[in-house]
Amino acid sequence: MQFFLSLAPAYTEIFLLCAICAILLIDLFLTDEQRNLTYVLSMLTLLGCFLITAFADPVNDVEPFSDMLVTDPLASVLKLCIFASVAVVFVYSQTYIRARGMFRGEFFVLALFATLGMLVMVSGASMLTLYLGLELLSLSLYAMIALQRDSTQATEAAMKYFVLGALASGMLLYGMSMLYGATGTLDIDVMSEVIAAGEADMTILAFALVFIVAGLGFKLSAVPFHMWVPDVYHGAPTAVTLFIGTAPKLAAFAFVMRLLVSGLGASFLVEQWQWMLIIMAVLSLAIGNITAIAQTNLKRMLAYSAISHMGFLLLGVLSGSSEGYAAAMFYVVVYVLTSLGTFGIMLLLSRDGFEAENLDDYKGLNQRSPWFAAIMLVLMFSMAGVPPVVGFYAKLSVLWAVVEAGFVWLAVVAVLFSLIGAFYYLRIVKLMYFDPPQDLSPIA
């Protein structure tokens, strides 16, 4: 009995893994007409995970499995957000993947495996656990991108993502191995204590820091590790792009908090990775916003937009204060929410044989569907940071934390690039409300 009680902090992960195995077996015996059962079981699995996480007895800062997992408020909140976002992805994607022959058990099983990887990343208290969660997520995403077998574009995107992802994982793993060599432990809390006590070799730590920040930059799609983002967003089926662009961002934020903030949060190390993040944040804001202006494809535009948003996220992290970390978490949750809505509208407007991914497809949308146009208007205002929409308060909280940390010039730079970024968001509003539609038929 004591053994089962000790597993309490990992009940959600265990339940999800058992459910995935059950769904995988059940799906083998289903015909195409019965495939809806896989969808229903997947949704029930996410609901069960949500309820277990939300209503299980709170266990504060418990670390089961030889201190390899941690249960704390950060993990609980991010897990709930992950379950909610994946459920929304499934709901939005149902019609889209049916029309394109992707309504198979593999889509839902791979998405649930990716979700399991995210949960492990969110709860990881050891470098080993974090890396295993990251690889489970990454391998699932590679397969999901290539799921549309007759699409050469999707196959190319999966290949690019796989090659660059393997390179980034190698860099991250090399950085972790150097950290292990310098501190003699995989446990993040113990590693932090060893570094704070000055018992680790600073030269090895400096090299490890460079490799780890580079690996994290790739996972966050920050410049100069952003090369995969536009091609993957554009090449993957829109339903998969919706998945890639939302929940994994929450897991990547948790990864940064666990490894960079908790593990390498000693004051003398913060000063070193702070400037690395400043360079990445400014470059992400600049290249993301400026390049997005030139895009005519909405998925590519949102890819560069994601790069700029990750620059804003890094601003909150580099502030080095609890207020900054809270602002960054609020920002990434709001970003995921608005991305779900934006890609969701794309999925709802797409039909069999037609992808609503070019900007011209949104001309006169208000005349064809005032409801869709109004939702898109709110989402674009939120992404641009126009008050009083929630995106404005997310950006304001990050900027406030940056100013409080003494980086006033950085806040000014962020505001300037946000103003540049507002152009391409407001361009979509202009197309929807002031341009004549290419297709006059109303949208059901």
Rounded CA gap, 95 and 438, in Å?
24
CB 261 within 8 A of CB 325: yes
For residue 6, what pLDDT is reported?
A: 66
Average pLDDT over residues 240-264: 90
Q: What is the pLDDT of residue 5?
A: 64
Say what the pLDDT of residue 362 is. Answer: 84
The whole-number pLDDT of residue 192 equals: 86
* CA dist., res. 18 & res. 15, Å (int): 5
> HSE on the CB side for 197, CA within 13 Å?
10
The predicted-structure confidence for 243-254, as pLDDT tens digits, reads as follows: 999 999 999 999
* pLDDT averaged over every residue in the chain: 87
* pLDDT reading at 153 higher than 90: no
Q: Kindly tell me if the per-residue pLDDT of 66 is higher than 80.
A: no
Cis status, amide bond into 388, omega within 30 of 0: yes
Q: Which H or E run includes 219? A: helix 202-219
Calpha distance 1→22 (Å, rounded):
25
- Phi first, then psi: what are they for 62, rounded to 5°? -90, 140
Per-residue pLDDT band for 310 (boundaries 50, 70, 90) equals: very high
Dihedral angle over CA of 417, 220, 230, 392, nearest 10: -40
pLDDT, position 62: 53
- Per residue in 155-202, pLDDT (tens digit) is 888 999 999 999 999 999 999 999 998 888 888 888 888 888 878 788
DSSP bridge pairs for 69: 124
User: For residue range 200-211, what is the model confidence (pLDDT) as tens digits?
Assistant: 788 888 888 899
Residues of the chain with pLDDT > 70: what percent? Answer: 94
pLDDT at 313: 92
Residue count (the chain): 444
Q: What is the pLDDT of residues 125-150, one digit of tens each?
A: 888 999 999 999 999 999 999 888 77
Q: How far is CA 375 from the centre of its chain?
A: 22
Are 331 and 395 in contact by the 8 Å Cβ rule? The answer is yes
Residue 35 has pLDDT above 70, yes or no: yes
Three-point CA angle 327, 118, 237, nearest 5°: 100
Indicate if the pLDDT at residue 408 is higher than 80: yes
| pLDDT reading at 307 higher than 90 | yes
Is the pLDDT at 24 greater than 70? The verdict is yes
Among 81-85, 286-290, 366-370, the minimum mean pLDDT is found in 366-370
Q: What whole-number distance in Å separates Cα of residue 439 and Cα of residue 178?
A: 58
Q: Is the pLDDT of residue 440 over 70?
A: no
Distance linking the first and last C-alpha atoms of the chain: 55
pLDDT of residue 444 exceeding 60, the answer is no
Question: For the residues 230-237, what does the mean pLDDT come to?
Answer: 90
Rg (CA), the chain: 22
CA-nearest of 384, 385, 379, 372 to 433 is 372
- Residue-wise pLDDT for 75-117, tens only, equals 889 999 999 999 999 999 888 888 888 888 889 999 999 999 9
